[in-house]
Amino acid sequence: MAKPSIPQGTRDFSAETIRKRNHILSTIRKVFELYGFEPLETPAMENLETLMGKYGEEGDKLIFKILNNGLNDPKNIDKAREGFDKLLEGKSTPSLTERALKYDLTIPFARYVAMNHGQLTFPFKRYQIQPVWRADRPQKGRYREFTQCDADVVGSTSLINEVELINIYHQVFTQLGLEQYELKINSRNILLALAEACGGADKLIDITVAIDKLDKIGLEKVKIELQQRGLNENQIVTIEKYLSIAGNNVEKLAAIEDLLGKNIHTSKGIEELSFIVHHASNTHLAIDFTLARGLNYYTGVIFEAKAPAAVQMGSIGGGGRYDNLTGLFGVPNIPGIGISFGVDRIYDVLEELQLFPASIQTNTKALFFNMGENESLFAFDVLQQVRAQGIACEMFHETSKLDKQFKYAEKKNIPYVVIIGSAEIEKKECVIKHLLTGKQENISLTQLSSFLQ
């Protein structure tokens, strides 16, 4: 029997981890609900054709495909062989695989909207908290199975949605104690205007891929990459000017107008960004013209939430406006916008910055010490009365050294210890000790429940 193991990039979650994850998840869920979003869940797997082609060429490679069953059935064998030949050429084929694990929550959501648009009330606001899978090579902050928390609004072009989603980011991160996060925004329209100024919209992807790397590889290397991607010197000069735009949000908007002039895309982009900058109550909001974001379905404003610079984690959330996502599924003219939180990375960041409150580690309010056979039976009755008041508590399972009982409480992060020995029984009181402060006092048994409340 081989040693038991789990697939690369997946994890088991222990009680402690789950509590911490739930802390994040419930914070996000509450904020989503506060803004009127409603829950949705979709299957772990989708039809492969639903997913293919939606995330770009690289994305297609990272989709986990599920092998069809029954390939060895005599009536399927020929097709399976044929399919295998295609597979070796790098093409997936329905004769081998027709289903895949979902890669994100946005595309399944778009599929859902396309299937149900007749029944939905627009604007439709949904949130979704589910695992997704990517066949990426794991490293720090990157897993093959991870949880996304998405909130999307479809059926509205109002920029108020952008503002609200930005406020959601702010509220969630603030509540989690992640004060130093950064929210970058940009607009695809600005990027499009830049591409047009540099030889045409078909250069958009080449330009964005290169400039997105600015803070990572530096200006000189970006210029080299632009050159390799076929941009001429004049165009690179324009891009260099574009990249050198600095200042506060208002100054940046003025500068971009100077540089790119008054064409339709520039004005659209500026209109979007300035509306948001003026209405979002978020000091962490920074316009960043180098922000590109890979997914090619975005058409308007794009976001990226970054972890505090102190931790090397990068993106902990992202999103943007897509004006025709359901069009991919045959239902045109439903505009939408969405954001996503990456729970697993947020977890890693909070862990590194030690931002998880100790109180989330247990429900148990108090541990009753076991001071002997008779004492423990007496204490047990007291304990039941406390539980009847809805206060979670437990008693140490056997009489043993106080040392050991203290350690148990400490390990389970139980805040209070209740000691009822023969002396206390006589006086109808107990010793209650707060483990964090080390302070203890004697209180009467009748007051115990209200003390712990």
Partner RNA sequence: GUGGUUGUAGCUCAGCUGGUUAGAGCACCAGAUUGUGAUUCUGGGGGUCGUGGGUUCGAGCCCCAUCAUCCACCCCA
For the segment 92-111, give every residue that binds RNA (CB under 7 A). Answer: 104
DSSP 8-state class, residue 323: S
| CB closer to RNA, 197 vs 292 | 292
Distance (Å, whole) CA 277 – CA 6: 46
Q: Does 427 bind RNA (CB under 7 A)?
A: no
Candidates 57-65, 79-87, 272-280, 330-338; binding stretch for RNA (CB under 7 A): 57-65
Distance (Å, whole) CA 141 – CA 143: 7
Q: Phi and psi for 431 in degrees, rounded to 5?
A: -95, 130
For the segment 112-151, give every residue that binds RNA (CB under 7 A). Answer: 134, 136-144, 146, 148
Residue in this structure with the two tokens 């859902």, named with its chain if needed? 112
- Shortest distance, position 44 Cβ to RNA, whole Å: 16
Distance (Å, whole) CA 394 – CA 142: 38
Q: How far lies 400's CA from each of 367, 420, 431, in Å?
A: 14, 14, 18
DSSP 8-state class, residue 138: P
Q: Does 66 bind RNA (CB under 7 A)?
A: no
Q: Contacts for 440-446 with beta carbons within 8 Å, 24 or more apart?
A: 445/382, 445/420
Q: Does 415 bind RNA (CB under 7 A)?
A: no
For the segment 252-291, give every residue that binds RNA (CB under 7 A). Answer: none
- Shortest distance, position 212 Cβ to RNA, whole Å: 7
CA angle 187, 29, 165 (to 5 degrees): 20
Question: How many beta carbons lie within 10 A of that of residue 211, not counting itself?
Answer: 22
| CB closer to RNA, 253 vs 418 | 418
Interaction pattern, residues 161-200, with RNA; x per rule: CB under 7 A: ----------------------------------------
Among the listed residues 4, 5, 118, 121, the single contact to RNA using CB under 7 A? 5
Which residues have CB under 8 Å from 367's CB, separation 6+?
393, 394, 395, 396, 405, 408, 409, 412, 414, 416, 417, 418
- Shortest distance, position 406 Cβ to RNA, whole Å: 4
- Shortest distance, position 315 Cβ to RNA, whole Å: 4
- Shortest distance, position 81 Cβ to RNA, whole Å: 22
For the segment 323-362, give every residue that binds RNA (CB under 7 A). Answer: 340, 342, 344-345
First and final C-alpha spacing in the chain: 51
- Shortest distance, position 325 Cβ to RNA, whole Å: 14
Which residues bind to RNA, rule: CB under 7 A? Answer: 3, 5, 7-9, 55-56, 58-59, 62, 104, 134, 136-144, 146, 148, 209, 213, 216-217, 293-295, 305, 312, 314-318, 340, 342, 344-345, 369, 371, 400-404, 406-407, 409-410, 419, 421-424, 431, 433-435, 438, 440
